Structure formats: C-alpha cells, structure tokens
Amino acid sequence: MAISFSTYDITYNIPDKDKISDWINEVIENEGFKLGDVNYFFCSDEYILKINRQYLNHDYTTDIITFDYSTRRKISGDIVISIPTVTLNAERFQVSFQQEVLRVIIHGILHLIGYKDSTDDEKEQMRQAENLSLLFLETNF
C-alpha cells in the first residue's frame, strides 16, 4: 500500500515526500487504521473548480476535495489540493505556505479516517486533530 504525490496542470514539488509519507502513515496507525492507497493530486483553482462542479455540484473553488475509497479499517482515497487556494489561505491565516499545505494534507487523511467538518462541533474536532497531527510531525520527524 502506498501514498503517491502528483500534480495536474501546475508545477509543484512537495519537499520531503518520504518524511511526509511516514507521518501520514503514523497518523493513520495512531487512529487505529491501516494504510491502503492514498493519492494526492496538487492542482490549480481551475481544475479543482471543475472537479467540484463535476462530482459535488458545487460552483466554487476550495482548498481540498477528498474522495473516500476506504474499506473497513483500511484508508484509501484520492485527495485533490488546490495550491493557489492553499497559498491564499496561508496568507489569510498568517501561517507559512508549508504549514498550511501540511494542514490540508492531513485534513484529507482525517476525512478518510472519519472526521467531519460540517457543524461547529465537527470543525472543532477536526481542528484539534489537525493540530495534534501537526504537533506529532514537529516532535517526531
């Protein structure tokens, strides 16, 4: 089982792929799941808008769309991330681009694990899980 990183219609090279893959796998295992196949696609706002319209009937850009193919306790899915929106969000939240892209990367995994973010309570639980995962990355990798 594997984690892959690729781009579509943009140029972006994620640094430390092996380190990030190990971190993602540890987060998955710490939540009591096993890694299946997780594919990250980094793209433009135009592409994520197309995906959002085609598959979710939403007419707006977003930073991330997660397609869940998980079975039982095995985490699998496609995670589409808009680099321009992540860049804007980093500025908006006054964090580094790297910190924001890592937050979005783990956000997708947390969705595959079962975290939601529709209600205020769910958003708070998601944010806490993101923060804990980021802290785990900082202290262990």
Name the band, by pLDDT with cuts 50, 70 and 90, for residue 65.
Answer: very high
**How many domains does the chain divide into?**
1
Question: What distances in angstroms separate CA 14 from CA 69, 118, 119, one per listed residue?
Answer: 23, 29, 31
Is the CB of residue 62 less than 8 Å from the CB of residue 83? no
Distance of CA 42 to the CA centre of its chain: 10
CATH at residue 107: 3.40.390.30
Q: What is the pTM of this model?
A: 0.95
pLDDT-based confidence at residue 53 (cuts at 50, 70, 90): very high
pLDDT tens track for 6-49: 999 999 999 899 999 999 999 999 999 999 999 999 999 999 99
> CA-CA distance, 53 to 137, in Å (whole number)?
34
Mean pLDDT over the full length of the chain: 96
Q: Which amino acid is at 17?
A: K
Let me know: does 27 contact 109? Beta carbons within 8 Å.
yes
Helix (H, G, I), strand (E, B) or coil at 106: helix
Domain of residue 107 covers 3-140
Alpha carbon 104 to chain centroid, angstroms: 4
Average pLDDT over residues 99-128: 97
